[in-house]
């Protein structure tokens, strides 16, 4: 196959990952669905327990959909991190969780 056309994808579909491995795709942007779900459940647990409330003055990102957006992280996957990208996404989640309580919540 011809590899002269450079291609960057979105998400980590198995076909795209195989194409990266074979050199037909330069890379792909992976979202962090694990982090989205995990951090969401973590925060709901903190708030449901009655010990935490949302900080109004936290460094929220405003988007057309919400005034309180938190980026769950993305990652470029290429041949260099093809074998480690899932661990890299988990690290992003751990980093967000480690700072979340102090940054976005008032907890008793």
Which long-range contacts link 100-104 to residues 24+ away (Cβ below 8 Å)? 100/39, 100/42, 100/43, 100/70, 101/46, 101/52, 103/55, 103/58, 103/59, 104/43, 104/54, 104/55, 104/58, 104/60, 104/70
**Which pLDDT tens digit goes with each residue over 22-52?**
999 999 999 999 999 999 999 999 999 988 9
Domain boundaries of the chain, sorted by first residue: 8-107
Report the pLDDT averaged over residues 96-107: 95
pTM of the model: 0.83
């Amino acid at each position: 196959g011809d590899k002269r056309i450079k291609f960057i994808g979105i998400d980590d579909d198995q076909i795209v990952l195989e194409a990266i491995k074979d050199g037909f795709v330069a890379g792909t942007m992976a979202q962090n669905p694990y982090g989205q779900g995990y951090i969401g459940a973590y925060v709901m647990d903190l708030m449901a327990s009655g010990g935490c409330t949302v900080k109004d003055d936290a460094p929220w990102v405003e988007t057309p959909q919400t005034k309180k957006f938190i980026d769950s992280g993305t990652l470029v996957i290429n041949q260099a991190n093809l074998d480690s990208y899932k661990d890299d996404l988990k690290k992003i989640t751990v980093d967000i969780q480690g700072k979340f309580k102090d940054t976005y919540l008032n907890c008793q």
